[in-house]
Chains A and B, each alone.
Chain A
Amino acid sequence: MGKKHETPLLDELKKGKWVSFVREIERAAEKSERTEDLLGQVEQSYRDKVTHWKHGGMAGVKGYGAGMVGRFTEFPDKYPGVKECHSMRINQVSGFFYNSDVLRKIAGIAEKHGGGLLNLHGSTGDIQILGLRQDEAEEAFQAYAELGFDLGGGGSDLRTPSCCLGQARCEFANYDTLKICYDLTQAYQDEMHRPLFNYKFKFKFSGCANDCVASASRSDMAFIGTWKDSIKINQDEVKNYVKKLNVQKYVIDKCPTKCMWFEEDNLVIDDPNCVKCMHCINEMPKALRPGDEKGASILLGAKAPLVTGPRMGMMFIPFYDVLEDSKNNYEWLKQLISNIWDFWDEYGVTRERIGELMQRVGVVTFLEGIGLEPIPEMVDHPRSNPFIKFEDEEEND
C-alpha cells in the first residue's frame, strides 16, 4: 500500500539501534487512516520546525472535567484524520502491573475508538490513548469502564496519584505504596473527576528515600518511606562485602551524617543520627535493612516551574504511621488533606499551587492554617535574619 504522505525527515528517525517511535506511528497507521494524517502533520512540523496543534477547544465526557485533553490540527483540510485528535487518560494500575489479557483489551479499545497509539505511560502515570474524536469519547470511556478502568485526572483537580512498585518487589519499601495509592485514588474519585481546586494537586508515593517516582520534585504531597528505629545489620554479610568492596570509602565515608564506623570488624551505626538517606542500604542490600517501625515522611509543595518557579517538597510530617492509619481508613491523613485543601480553597488564587501559596502567605501562616505546629525537622537551620514580627499577645516563658 502506498503511503498517504511522504515522510523523508521522519524516515531518518527509523534508522539507528534504539526502538523508533516513527515505526510505531507507522504500525498504528497501517490500521488507522487518521494516524496516517498524524504522520503527515508531524512530518510537516519537522519541516517547519514548529508545532501544528491548535490551542483551544474542548473535549471530555459528560459530568467529568478531567481525563481528556482536546487537540485540533491547524490544517483540518490537509490532515482531516486529525481534525480532532484528543487524548484520553486512563488511570493506570498501581505500580503499573498488568497481564497480557487486559493489555490486549486496552490496546484493542485504543484501536477501535482512537488512532491506535498509546503512551505507556504519561508523565503523571496514566495510560494515554491518542487520537480520539469527541463523538467516540463516551463509547471508549464506557468500554474502559467495563474492563474496570476509569479516567484519570486533568484540569484543576486531584491528578492521578502514582506510586513506586514498593512491597510488590522491592525490599526497601517501608510501607505499602500500592495499597495507599489505590485506596486514596478510590477515596477521592470526585476530586479527580470534577475539578474544584485552584489548580492541580498531586500525590505520589515512594517506598523509600531513593524516591523512584520523583515525588519530592513533582508532587504537592509526597510520601517518602522511612523508619524510626535501627537499621538491621547482618555482620556476616558486612564481612562478605568488605572482601569485595572498599566499605570505608564507598559506604562509610559517604554517609551524610557520619553516623557509621567500624569497631573491630563490626559495623556500628549511631541510629539516632541517621537521616534514613538509603545510601548504605543501597550499597550493601544483603547486609543492611531498614528497621521495623516503618512509615513515611510527608513533604509538601513541590512543583514544576510555572507559574512562579520550581520548588522541591518541604518536610512537614517527619513520620506518618501508614499501616496504623490505614486500619482507620486513613482518618488522620484525610483530616490533614482536608485541612490543606480547605486552606487552599479559602486563600489560594487561580493557578496557584500549594507551594506557591505557602511562599506567598508564609510558611508559618500556612502551618497555622492547616493545624500543624512548627518543629525543627522542618528547617535546615533556624532563621538567621533578625526581622522578626513579634506578636502582641506573645508571652515569654
Chain B
Amino acid sequence: MPEEAKNKRLTDIGPHDFHDYLPPVIKKNYGKWAYHEILDAGSMVHVAESGDKLYTVRVGSPRLVSGSFVRDLCDLADKYCSGYLRFTTRNNVEFLLEDEKNIEPLKQDIAKLGLAAGGIGNVVANIVHTQGWVHCHTSASDASGVVKSVMDDLYEYFVEEKLPAKVRIAFACCLNMCGSVASSDIAILGTHRKPPRINQERLLNLCEIPSTIAACPTNSIRPDTQDGKQTLRINEETCVFCGSCYTVCPAMPIADPATDGLSIWVGGKVSNARTKPTFSKLVIPFIPNDPPRWPKVVEAVKTILDAYKEGAESGERVVEWIERIGWPRFFKITGFKFTKYHVDDFRLAETTMNYSSHTRL
C-alpha cells in the first residue's frame, strides 16, 4: 500500500495492558493475598500477607449504560479511590478502596445516584443477560426489561445477605444463549414455538441452500422446488424451533409475536465446589411475553427462590437442595406442573431417565 495514510493506521495492537490500571495496593500485593472477609452484601475486604488491606464496594449496574453513567462512576472513583474501579463478569461495578473510612460515604453517594451496593456473598447476584429487543434480530423476548422487572422484585436479595448460598440468575433471549444461562441456578430463556417462515423471494438472494440445510440440528430442512425455482421445505413435525437456520439464512424469520415467550430452568451450576458442574433443567416450558413487566416470569422466579430459601440447608446451592429432596417434591412444593415437555426426547434423552427403583413416595 503506497499511500501514507495507510501506514499510520493502527491494527492488531491488542488490548491495553492491565498493569496500567491496577491500583498501587494491588500492584504491591499481586499474588500475595492471604484471605478475605465479607463485611456486608455490598462490601468486602481482602487482606494481603503484608497486612495491607483492599476494600471493595460492589454496585449493581444495568449493563446497558450511557456515557453519563460512566462519568458518574468515574466521579465517585476519583472522590474515593484515586480513580480505580473494575467490573465483574456479572456486570457489577467494583470500587477499589484503600481507606475503610471511605466505604460509608461512598455508599451514600451510590444511593444518591439511585444505585444499589450488594451482590456479595449468599445473595442474588446481578443477572447476566443479553441484548433482546434493544439490539438483536433473533430474540424471542426482550432481555433488559425482564431483568429489570425481576431485579425490582428481588431487590432485597441483592442488598442483604439472606439466602442459604449464592443464587446465580441468567437470562438469554434465544437458544444462542449469549448469556451463560445453560448452567445457572435459575435461568430465563427466550423461546420460539413455531417453525421459521420461508420468504421465497429473499431466499435465493440472501441464502446459501446447502449451508442452510446443514444448519439444522434435526435435519428438518429439505431442498424443494416451487414454480420451477429452487426453495426449501421445513418438516414441521421434527423442527424444534431453535432458530439455527435463521442465523445462517435471513430469509427464514422465526420470531412470532403471537407465540414467542420465555421458559424457566433451574439447578445449573458452573463451580466445581463439592459437586460437578451441571446444566440447568427445565421447570416451566413456556410463559407468554407480557411486556412491559412480565409478571408471570417474576412470580415464577420468586416462587423458586422462596421455596429454596425455605427448604435448603445452609450452604446448599439450588441444585444440591433439589437433588436432596428429589424433583417430584420440587414440583409439588412449587406447584409447577410436570408435563411431557419435561421428559427429554432429544439426543441426550437416555442420560436423564431414572434407571433404578429409587423413588421418594
Residue B353 interfacial (CB < 8 Å): no
Given contacts A19-B60, A19-B116, A87-B135, contact A98 B176 (CB under 8 A): no
Given contacts A50-B257, A51-B136, A142-B10, contact A99 B274 (CB under 8 A): no
Residues of B within 8 A of A30 (CB): 68
Docked pose: A169 CA to B46 CA in angstroms: 7
Docked pose: A380 CA to B58 CA in angstroms: 39
Residues of A within 8 A of B277 (CB): 211, 216-217, 312
Given contacts A19-B62, A49-B289, contact A254 B315 (CB under 8 A): yes
> Chain B: which residue is nearest A188 at the CB level?
B14
B16 touches A18 (CB 8 A): no
Residues of B within 8 A of A147 (CB): 16
> Chain A: which residue is nearest B62 at the CB level?
A21
Query: Chain B contact residues (Cβ within 8 angstroms of A): what range?
Result: 35 or more
B15 touches A185 (CB 8 A): yes
Task: Give the secondary structure class of B's interface.
Answer: loop
Report which of B151, B211, B217 forms a contact with A309, defined as CB distance below 8 A: B217
Residues of A within 8 A of B56 (CB): 169
A278, chain B: closest CB distance, angstroms = 5
Docked pose: A93 CA to B86 CA in angstroms: 10
Residue A83 interfacial (CB < 8 Å): no
A-B pair count, CB < 8 Å, reads: 351
Residue B285 interfacial (CB < 8 Å): no
Residues of A within 8 A of B247 (CB): 306
Segment of B72-80, B100-108, B227-235, B333-341 engaged in the interface with chain A: B72-80
Segment of A101-109, A261-269, A362-370, A387-395 engaged in the interface with chain B: A101-109
Report which of B46, B77, B176, B293 forms a contact with A171, defined as CB distance below 8 A: B46
Residues of B within 8 A of A21 (CB): 62-65, 134, 144-145, 148
Given contacts A18-B116, A99-B83, A146-B10, contact A305 B65 (CB under 8 A): no
> Chain B: which residue is nearest A104 at the CB level?
B74
B151 touches A18 (CB 8 A): yes
Residue B311 interfacial (CB < 8 Å): no
Could you mark each residue 88-114 of chain A with 1 if its beta carbon is under 8 Å from any beta carbon of chain B, else 0?
Answer: 000111111111111110111011000
Docked pose: A64 CA to B230 CA in angstroms: 33
Residues of A within 8 A of B217 (CB): 306-309
Given contacts A91-B15, A108-B67, contact A55 B271 (CB under 8 A): no
Residue A318 interfacial (CB < 8 Å): no
Chain B residues within 8 Å of A, Cβ to Cβ: 9-18, 21-22, 26, 30-31, 33-36, 46, 54, 56, 60-71, 73-75, 77-78, 83-89, 91, 93, 96, 114-116, 128, 130, 132-139, 142, 144-145, 148-149, 151-152, 155, 158, 175-180, 182-183, 206, 211, 214-215, 217, 242-244, 246-248, 250, 253, 255-257, 260, 268, 270-275, 277-279, 289, 291-293, 314-315, 346-348
8 nearest A-B residue pairs (beta carbon):
A16-B152, A100-B74, A209-B272, A55-B250, A145-B10, A100-B83, A45-B133, A18-B151
Known pairs A45-B142, A99-B84, A123-B128. 10 more at Cβ < 8 A? A16-B155, A18-B152, A50-B260, A167-B30, A171-B34, A171-B36, A305-B182, A309-B347, A312-B277, A350-B214
